[in-house]
Structures are given as C-alpha cells and as structure tokens.
A and B are shown apart, each in its own frame.
Chain A
Amino acid sequence: EVRLVESGGGLVQPGGSLRLSCAASGFTFSSSWMSWVRQAPGKGLEWVANVNQGGSQIFYVDSVKGRFTVSRDNAKNSLYLQMDSLRGEDTAVYYCARYSGDESFQSWGQGTLVTVSS
C-alpha cells in the first residue's frame, strides 16, 4: 500500500522559514517523480513543485520560485520542501503526492498545515 506522510507544518512568522518532510513507503520511491501541492483554507488546489527521480529536474510555480526549494533523499525515501521568506499567502495545507507523467498525482499524503502569521 502506498503511504505518504507529511510532517513539519506549524505556525511561523512572516519572513520566517519552515522545512516540510514527506516519508514515503509502499512503492519504489527512487523511481518516482514527486510533487508538492497546497490548498489555502477554504480555497482550491495549487500545484507547487515537481521533482524527478534523481532530483536533477525541479519545476516550481512562479509564486514560490526563489523562496522554496524541493529536495529528496532516496536512501531515506523522503521528500522535502524548504520554505524561506514565508508570506501570509503561503498559509495552506501542503500535500506531497506521487506523480507520474501518465496518471498525474497518483497518491497523496494527508497534508500538513502551514500558518504564516504574526
């Protein structure tokens, strides 16, 4: 069974930093593209970033470029999202997802809430 478990969310002040983690199991993590998708409270879904199997290809939505950094550790079956210079509009539930070019977001974690507020 595919399992994705996010952690690291919490309350952070504007301008602050936070690092999210996603622990993967039940599939070959090192062979999978991975994604971060977020959802602001009461709003729709927004794709944030994709990373390829080896971490050499990474794509970001414009609104987080230069502030967020995706990385992965295939030895630990883990995906990360380093978020710097956080803004109020970054407040959202952040989901990690297994991505494929065929099926898009195949599997999702339960999400972790990030609140940016003073």
Chain B
Amino acid sequence: DIQMTQSPSTLSASVGDRVTITCRASQSISYWLAWYQQKPGKAPQVLIYKASRLGSGVPSRFSGSGSGTEFTLTINSLQPDDFASYYCQQYLSYPITIGGGTKVENK
C-alpha cells in the first residue's frame, strides 16, 4: 500500500499569511494526488486534483504543486474561511490512501 504522510499535523497562521502544507508518498504516484478541505461537521470538498489542477469553484489563492513523491498545497493570503483541516490523497492505485490531515488554526 502507498503511505501518505502530511506535515505539519497542525499549523497556526493568521489571516493574510501564506500557508504551505506538504504531503509525501511512500512511492511515486506521478501526479495522481488530490487535496481536500474539511470544516468541522461538514463533508470534505476537493480543492486540487492531479496534483495541480484547481477544482471547480475553488478560489485561485489555493494552488498545488509537485509530482512523484513530494507535493505541496499552498494557500496564498489565508482567509477566515480557510481555517479548516486539509487532506492529501493518492489515487494512482488501490487501496486509495489518504494522509493523516493538517489542521490550520487561527494564531
């Protein structure tokens, strides 16, 4: 199985900050990586797919990069609505595996 490791697990930031979350795969997954945002009590929503493609309706302050085993989700100019948990997920092969999550908290 492909293991997905996110860092950090918690991140404290302020509105307007640039935030970076890292995701590492235990083996190459090419660009088959998605990022999701989840708010408390709500279902996740896709932000990024194929490592760098913006999901429908997702604000342009979100961006994804990377390929192979190392990936990054960047939020430019953090907004109040962005305080949430973020997950990376590989879909190169089964079983589909998901990182442990990063909680972005208000500093």
Contacts and interface: CB of A to CB of B under 8 A. Distances in A.
Contacts of A95: 43-44
A47 B97 contact: yes
Contacts of B49: 102-104
Contact of A108 (B45, B87, B94): B45
Interface residues of A, number: 20
Kindly list the 4 A-B residue pairs having the minimum CB-CB distance in the complex, ordered from nearest. Answer: A108-B43, A47-B96, A104-B34, A103-B49
> In terms of DSSP, what is the predominant structure of the interface of chain A?
strand
Nearest to B85: A44
Interface of B: 34, 36, 38, 42-46, 49-50, 53, 55, 87, 89, 91, 94-101
B96 A44 contact: no
Given A104-B34, A104-B91, A44 B101 contact: yes
Nearest to B33: A104
Contacts of B53: 103
Given A105-B36, A105-B44, A44 B100 contact: yes
Given A45-B44, A104-B49, A59 B94 contact: yes
A66 interface: no
Contacts of B94: 50, 59
Chain A CB count within 10 A is highest, among B43, B44, B49, B94, for B43
